[in-house]
Amino acid sequence: MLISDKVSVPDTAMVYAKQAYELANLNNIESGKLNSMIRVSQLYFMLSNLKSAIETGLDAQKLAIKLEKQSELAIILDGLGMLYYNLGDKKKCADYYFSSLKISESLGNKNMISITLSRIGLLYNDQKDYKKADEYLKRSLTITRELNNKEGIATNLNNLANVCINTGDYAKALNYLKDALKITNTTENPALKASHFLNIGKVYYKLENYHAAMKYYKEALLIFEKTGNISKLTNCRLYMGEAELALGNYRQANEDAKSALSDSRKQGLMDLIYQSYKLLHELSLKQKDTSLAYTYTILENQWKDSLSLGEKERNLAKMELQYHFEKKEQMDKATRERRNILNLSVIMALTLSIVIILLLMNQLRLKAKKSKLEKESIEKELDFKKKELTINVMSLMKKSEMLSELSKKIVQFENEATNEDTKYSLKRVMKELQKTSEEETLKEFSLRFKEVHKEFYDSLLKKYPELTPSELKLCAFLKLNLSTKEISELTGQRLNTIENARYRLRIKFGITNSEVNLVTFLSQI
């Protein structure tokens, strides 16, 4: 993009700042966008476009908050404070300055702290709270001295001198300004030096030392001529005109006033045009030129009316801007509140969900614990019943063994008996004893077995419904891993009878492979 030679430095800088923003936006570099926005806002202010400057500043503020860039946020808030100061909204100006100061203090950014303290001091000076102005400017001065920031020190001394001028403490003001001038002489800041000269001239004028005032006004004028600051130059000529008038140098005062009038007309500086006509009016009165004084009075009043009208228009424009930005801030605040409510709702929903999940997990843990305890209890009970069953089986085996011995003795008695009736009676006793013993033994065994292996018979009959009660009992003995001899002792059956029964079971179960163990097969059911 071609830039005309007539384009001002801020205009050129604005082009580059906007290009930087576009590049950062294109590449999605958020920090780059933020820095570009800060610079664009500052350049809009330099170009006197307050509306665009504030809008860009407010957008930059939102982005800085989003990115949590506290250092940049402090700069933005300080800049917004300056913008609202120029807009005439001193309350918002103060709010932004103090917000910036709070962040800078939390970051320990001494340079930014000193700048904002100085601005707050100037704000209090404008509001004629000179005590507060002095306090904040001195705090800023202390920090600039710690940082050895010469220009900062000189600026603060210059501002403190202005507070003293407003309070009428001219001696102190001169001390501040002369100290400031010594420091500025060691720097390369001609504009700041010219400001010191101009203020020293004002102090001497107040002290009615007009020759000294003229000396410093002329020093300031030389710098303004070199730097080409027409507004400052014109203002300085008016101060010189006032001093020349006080000294009675009417011809020189007239030249200064007309030179100021000419420059202010070219630049459209309405306030300085009015001041020039006012000086010319006073000069005409001193020279007792009533006709010229009358002419200048009319022109003075016209420009005073114009200034008043212009001030009203500016105030109206400022009020319109204030309304615009207050409305925008209210809308932004409402948006933030809605977002905060939404975020709060989401947080509450998530918290509630987490609480519910934790309660469910706790409930599941308790349920699992209860289930585990119940399982452990059942397993313990089952182990106990298994042990009890084993003891009972052993007891039954002992009982069967005892009955077997008793039967043998009865048979012996029977063989030794000579009386047929006795023999017959012993034989009947032995049969009854065997029958009762077998029935009781098998009945007690079945009862105990079912307590431990509740579903064994049901599962077995479901797969092999053709099994007889005797076969079911045999399966139960085998399930307990009892040997053929042990089964024989319990049931009173012969060994070969039991072996035959086992063989028939293998046929019913379809076990043709001799390597498959019948006990192992039944243990899996």
C-alpha to C-alpha distance for 192 and 155, rounded to whole angstroms: 7
The pLDDT score that the predictor gives to residue 7 is 39
Section 194-217 average pLDDT: 96
CB within 8 Å of 455: residues ≥ 6 apart: none
Return d(Cα 363, Cα 258) in angstroms, integer: 95
Where is pLDDT greater, at 212 or 376? 212
Give the mean model confidence (pLDDT) for residues 141-170.
96
Q: In the chain, how many domains are there? A: 1
Model confidence at 191: pLDDT above 70:
yes
Q: How far apart are the first and last CA of the chain?
A: 92
Distance CA 309, CA 317 (A): 12
User: How does pLDDT run across 325-383, given as a tens digit for each residue?
Assistant: 666 666 766 676 777 788 787 888 888 888 888 888 888 888 878 877 777 766 666 55
Phi, psi of 225 (to 5 degrees): -65, -40
Asked if residue 444 is part of any domain, the answer here is yes
DSSP state of 269: -
Indicate if the pLDDT at residue 317 is higher than 70. Answer: no
Interval 466-489: pLDDT, tens:
999 889 888 988 888 888 888 887
Nearest in space to 117 (alpha carbons), one of 129, 101, 132, 103: 101
**455 part of a folded domain:** yes
Note the pLDDT of residue 516.
Answer: 85
State residue 479 phi and psi, 5-degree precision: -55, -35
pLDDT value, residue 229: 79
Q: What local confidence, expressed as pLDDT, does residue 477 receive?
A: 86
Any domain includes 502? yes
- 384-409 pLDDT, tens digit per residue, is 565 565 656 656 555 665 666 666 67
Write down the pTM of the prediction: 0.59
Q: How far apart are CA 336 and CA 343, in angstroms?
A: 10
Domain for residue 187, yes or no?
A: no
Residue 511 lies in a domain: yes
Say whether 238 sits in a helix, a strand or coil: helix
Give me the helices (H) in 207-249, please. Answer: 210-227, 230-247
The three state secondary structure string of 357-410 is HHHHHHHHHHHHHHHHHHHHHHHHHHHHHHHHHHHHHHHHHHHHHHHHHHHHHH
User: Is residue 105 included in any domain, yes or no?
Assistant: no
Round to whole Å and give the CA distance between 440 and 491: 10
Longest dimension (CA), the chain: 186
Q: Is the pLDDT of residue 147 over 60?
A: yes
Q: Which domain holds residue 481?
A: 408-523
Name the more confident of 322 and 118.
118
Is residue 480 domain-resident? Answer: yes
pLDDT at position 10, please?
Answer: 76
Question: Would you state the structure tokens that stand for residue 479, as one six-digit string?
Answer: 């399930």
Q: Tokens 């103060």 identify what position?
A: 94
* Percentage of residues of the chain with pLDDT beyond 70: 79
- Both tokens of 457, joined, read 């018979």
Which of 213-217, 219-223, 247-251, 270-274 has the least mean pLDDT?
270-274
pLDDT exceeds cutoff 60 at 419: yes
pLDDT band at 446; cut points 50, 70, 90: confident
- Whether residue 360 lies inside any domain: the answer is no
| 120-129, 258-267, 285-294, 341-350: least confident range | 341-350
Look at the alpha carbons of 400, 406, 412, 415 in this order and tell me if their dihedral is positive or negative: negative
